[in-house]
Structure 1
Amino acid sequence: MNIEFKKNKLSIALSIALLTNLSLMAEEKSPKELDSVTVIGNENSDYKSKEKVKLNRTKMDIEDTAKSIQSFNENFIEDSQLQNIENIITMSSNTVYNGDNHGRTNDISMRGFSGVPILIDGLKVTNKMAHPEVYNFESIEIQKGPDSLQYGESSPGGIVNLVKKKPTKETLGKIELEVSDNSSYTPKLDVAGSLNKEESLYFRLVSVLKYDEGWTNSNTETNKVFIAPSLSYDVNDNHTLTFMAEYTDETTPSSFGTYVNSKGNLVAPIKNTISNPDEEFEKTQKIIGFDLDSTFDTWNSNFRYRYIDYEGDNGNVHMPQSYNEATNIVSRAFASQKQEFEEHALQYTLNKEIDILEFKNKISLGADYNKAYSKLDMFYDPSTPYLINLSHPSYEHLTSASEHSGVMDMSSDKTYVESWGTFLQDSIYLTNNLIFNAGVRYSESKPKNGQRSDALTPSFGLVYHFSDQTSIYTNYSESFTPNSQEDTSGNILDPEEGKGYEIGIKQKLFDDNLNLTAAIFKIEKENIAELDPDDPTLSKYKASGKQESRGFELDINGNITPNWSIVASYGYTDTKNKDNNNLDLKNIPEHTANIFTSYYLTSFGLPNTYIGGGAKYLGSRYADENNKIKFDSEIIYNATVGYKKGRWRANLSVQNLTDEEYVDGALSSNARGTRVYVGTPRTLLATISYSF
């Protein structure tokens, strides 16, 4: 009996035990205990978020903020049944997913620029697991445009914030089972409530077990154990201390994507892995931390700390090196890679409301510190190629380092990057309807043995409320990203800089139940590192690159009627690489559009039954900087039907209804071939849950 089989048996046993024991617990409760339950869910769904966005450290309302911001709440996440955070994030306009860099990161582009940072509970974390557990989030927030004011290093495209489920005083309990036609099953648990009579001590526990055979021809199944406990204590009326922890242990197949030809067409069935079907990618992530929230009449503060320990072990792989289009042959080489990350992240924010010269001011002062360690163990042997025909693959046995006499040790010692920053922002209420936002940030970043880089980034915005339903805004903001390349003098290049201009409107519709945001924008990115043609070694860089994007976008979410909910967006982005004949930036479509809507069949006498569906339009885009290889546009459809009554909920959905084969984005495109990541084929999902 091998280890993997034991893991599968353990996962099955734990899943059955979890569902059986929790069901018995629910049945054994007396009527008196059941009467104490106060939260069991709404009959209908509401996609309009009622909470203030957590990514705004100033705690200001969206309507008073001179930025385009969208928030996808738990109702939408639950109804749409989207399986990964990138599927939710890309519901926002002008936002695309480019791939996961071999299963290591979620690469998101916004408004034409990649490298969008993904925050966790409003905290910048450098190294974290790709594809985090969606069930652990109560909302996912998007802010568009360059903005390094509150969080430092950032993409000029925008920022994403993942908001985790928090302890609650109200008693809630939910068990859920999700199965799919990929021979997968996923039991889930979410419980919370008060632990004492005074309700000053309360908790939450979220847990997920997952087993998935997957849709590729890999011999490795996905097995995941996830658990996230948290505990809050009201020290007094003004202070709340929350402790949280999280543990993830996951094994998945390797993720090297596939190839397209010079016309941008896939060259083999997407189920065929281009490395070796016996490879495993083992990931373990541990997080602990705390939040201290203080609230008074005219001021509030928040102090956060997180410690993250993440290890990704790709073990032995036959890594793709090049693709020959004429023969459809991929050449691969042995490699073994293990990455270890350790990180400390701290953040403090103070918000104070004060009158200055008879004008109301909301002043925010913040500081943050991050120290991220990394270590790489890697062995590589390019001297022994392994060839495979992608159309008719015949895989060799997976080798180890001991079988390669010419293996090279490419490991690196433990190192770190230390960064810190501080910002000051003031929102001045010039009148009851006119708000001026202004702020500035200073940031520093320094590798262990490298050169320090710093940046001063301002931000300005103006919001005018025509009415309680309508407001317009405009802003100018900047972002920065440190460079790591050296020039011919051995100096680290200046940080990349982003500058953005934006004007937009925010509108409430249908009795304030539907939010609409529309904006036009222009973004410039400078100091992009490019190889210096005057350097004879062709290894030195100069900061001369310049890129630009401009466009229009529209986002709506909320309810049209009490029974009809919708999330939709449209985006147009025109990008230019100013140093490459104004060609388009790679992986960026001009047009994107998304919609998901659900409708309760109350008018048909079925008030507990809903139907829903959606579509994602991904316009044509280029795989390479020279715009020689182009991907066709695609439309991906989803459909769902569900039932919700009292404590029970059931949902049946189909993702990628027409089973489209499409490309998410290109990882690389050069003389060695164009390697890409593809979307998930048609998947049938069934979910049943019970609240107690």
Structure 2
Amino acid sequence: MSQRYPAYYANALATPADGGANHYLFRDDWYGAYFQDHITLWDKVHILGGGRYDWARTGVGIGDSASAAAALPSRRDEGFSPRVGILYQPWAWASIYGNWTTSFGANNGVTTAGTTINPEIGEQFEAGVKTEFFDQRLSTTLAYYHLTKENLMTRDFNSPDAFANAAIGKARSQGLELDMSGALTDELSIIGNYAYTDARITQDFSGLQGNRLNNVPEHSGSLWLKYDIHHYEPLNGLSFGLGIFAAGQRQGDNDNTFILPGYARLDAFASYTYQLGKSRLITQFNIRNLLDKTYYESTDPFQNAPPRVGIYPSAPLTAMGSMRLEF
């Protein structure tokens, strides 16, 4: 199987003094082929194996005309990303698993010297335990992961070139994740998760080794209560829930010169499922930031401005509705 993700954009930027227009072009051509297989042995061991091979061509440029910007620096990259996982289930209520995978991502940017940037390469190890108790009414997963990435592209705000990029040599993220879901009654359920994340720059060419990655909280988690109505006609199919999401302090930049404060946000939802023969019509209404609190989510994820002047405040109370048909 193959996939292609082409993109070719031309955007007019600020008008120069001579009345012309600058054009900024961004191009991606991406092909990939992948395979995967799942093997079960003795009804207790599950082995998953696969891989993906990618071919990518990227380019970016700026000029006083679209044709000039089209003569942009470009590069071709390719790489293979294997994936292996194993799960052992010694008892019906418990299983142990582990997996290893790598990733490949082409970087579309140029440095202040006009050179292109090598692709981003990632590697992840994960191991954990899954359990089910009380006739599968309570499910938990506890996992440890270790993830490294090389050549993370970021804006170079030290360069006079407003579009210059730089690559962080290597970054590492490791931590623990706990997920839990359970049925307290036939109609009331609980869903929660907690994550401890230690994300740091481990290799860099500008003295950032040991610094924490920006916008990554060390502690984060959420807790939801959900109520499904099953036995009260005509309300059968109605569900509603209330949840809280919390994130701890985060570094505002990779230089670790300022900190974004932690926050907690209250969300809610309501949905109704209507059976249409063998199909289901599901309508849902979500409210984010129910208490309309002001907090700061992150610095600019698109890196259009230096972090200290590109801090994103929270969105106010936001409501969104959706409808989908399952058949």
TM-score range, shorter chain: 0.7 to 0.9
- Tell me the distance in 1 between the aligned counterparts of 2:285 and 2:5: 44
- Compared CA separation, residues 625 and 411, structure 1 to 2 (3 A): same
- Tell me the distance in 1 between the aligned counterparts of 2:242 and 2:13: 47
| Percent of matched pairs sharing the same residue | 26
- Compared CA separation, residues 458 and 684, structure 1 to 2 (3 A): closer
Q: CA deviation at 1:475?
A: 1.1
- Tell me the distance in 1 between the aligned counterparts of 2:45 and 2:30: 36
CA offsets per residue over residues 249-272 of structure 1, 9 Å max, x none? xxxxxxxxxxxxxxxxxxxxxxxx
Amino acid of the structure 2 residue aligned with 1:573: T
Q: Tell me what 1:409 maps to.
A: 21
- Compared CA separation, residues 675 and 406, structure 1 to 2 (3 A): farther
SS for the counterpart of 2:75 is coil
CA contact (8 A) 2:138 2:183 kept: yes
Matched, 1:549 2:182: no
Q: Tell me what 2:290 maps to.
A: 657
- Tell me the distance in 2 between the aligned counterparts of 1:569 and 1:677: 25
- Tell me the distance in 1 between the aligned counterparts of 2:88 and 2:307: 53
CA contact (8 A) 2:58 2:107 kept: no
- Compared CA separation, residues 566 and 672, structure 1 to 2 (3 A): closer
Q: Tell me what 1:627 maps to.
A: 256
- Compared CA separation, residues 458 and 654, structure 1 to 2 (3 A): closer
- Compared CA separation, residues 491 and 458, structure 1 to 2 (3 A): farther
Amino acid of the structure 2 residue aligned with 1:440: G
Q: CA deviation at 1:530?
A: 7.6
Amino acid of the structure 2 residue aligned with 1:628: T
> 1:596 aligned to 220, 224, 242, which one?
224
TM-score (norm 1): 0.37
Q: Tell me what 1:434 maps to.
A: 45
Q: Tell me what 1:374 maps to.
A: 8
Structure 2: unaligned runs, 5 residues or longer? 60-71
Matched, 1:584 2:215: no
SS for the counterpart of 1:409 is coil
- Tell me the distance in 1 between the aligned counterparts of 2:56 and 2:105: 10
- Compared CA separation, residues 513 and 408, structure 1 to 2 (3 A): farther
- Tell me the distance in 1 between the aligned counterparts of 2:137 and 2:250: 35
CA offsets per residue over residues 184-205 of structure 1, 9 Å max, x none? xxxxxxxxxxxxxxxxxxxxxx
CA contact (8 A) 2:54 2:104 kept: no
Amino acid of the structure 2 residue aligned with 1:369: Q
Structure 1 segment 233-312 matched on structure 2, within 5 A: none
Matched, 1:520 2:132: no
- Tell me the distance in 1 between the aligned counterparts of 2:198 and 2:217: 8
Matched, 1:507 2:140: no
Structure 1 segment 354-393 matched on structure 2, within 5 A: 367-381=1-15
How large is the RMSD of aligned CA atoms in angstroms?
A: 4.2
Q: Tell me what 2:31 maps to.
A: 420
- Compared CA separation, residues 660 and 407, structure 1 to 2 (3 A): farther
Q: CA deviation at 1:470?
A: 2.1
Amino acid of the structure 1 residue aligned with 2:215: N
Amino acid of the structure 2 residue aligned with 1:633: G
CA contact (8 A) 2:252 2:307 kept: no
- Compared CA separation, residues 369 and 447, structure 1 to 2 (3 A): same
- Tell me the distance in 1 between the aligned counterparts of 2:285 and 2:163: 54
- Tell me the distance in 1 between the aligned counterparts of 2:318 and 2:305: 33
If each structure's strand is expressed as a fraction of its own residues, which one has the higher value?
Answer: 2
CA offsets per residue over residues 176-228 of structure 1, 9 Å max, x none? xxxxxxxxxxxxxxxxxxxxxxxxxxxxxxxxxxxxxxxxxxxxxxxxxxxxx
Q: Tell me what 1:571 maps to.
A: 195
Aligned length: 296
CA contact (8 A) 1:510 1:560 kept: no
SS for the counterpart of 1:466 is strand
Q: CA deviation at 1:455?
A: 0.9
CA offsets per residue over residues 268-320 of structure 1, 9 Å max, x none? xxxxxxxxxxxxxxxxxxxxxxxxxxxxxxxxxxxxxxxxxxxxxxxxxxxxx
**Structure number with larger C-alpha Rg:** 1
SS for the counterpart of 2:147 is strand
CA contact (8 A) 2:299 2:307 kept: no
- Compared CA separation, residues 375 and 541, structure 1 to 2 (3 A): closer
TM-score (norm 2): 0.73
Q: Tell me what 1:666 maps to.
A: 299
Q: CA deviation at 1:566?
A: 2.8
Structure 1 segment 55-454 matched on structure 2, within 5 A: 367-381=1-15, 407-412=19-24, 416-447=27-58, 450-454=74-78
- Tell me the distance in 2 between the aligned counterparts of 1:531 and 1:671: 9
SS for the counterpart of 2:173 is strand
- Compared CA separation, residues 488 and 670, structure 1 to 2 (3 A): closer
CA offsets per residue over residues 525-554 of structure 1, 9 Å max, x none? 11335899xx9x999888661111111112
- Tell me the distance in 2 between the aligned counterparts of 1:373 and 1:686: 31
Matched, 1:469 2:103: no
- Tell me the distance in 2 between the aligned counterparts of 1:602 and 1:437: 38
Amino acid of the structure 2 residue aligned with 1:597: L
- Compared CA separation, residues 530 and 656, structure 1 to 2 (3 A): closer
- Tell me the distance in 1 between the aligned counterparts of 2:307 and 2:107: 26
- Compared CA separation, residues 409 and 552, structure 1 to 2 (3 A): same
CA offsets per residue over residues 15-54 of structure 1, 9 Å max, x none? xxxxxxxxxxxxxxxxxxxxxxxxxxxxxxxxxxxxxxxx
Higher relative contact order (CA 8 A, sep 6+): 1
Structure 1: unaligned runs, 5 residues or longer? 1-366, 383-404
- Tell me the distance in 1 between the aligned counterparts of 2:87 and 2:93: 13
Q: CA deviation at 1:638?
A: 3.0
Amino acid of the structure 2 residue aligned with 1:375: Y
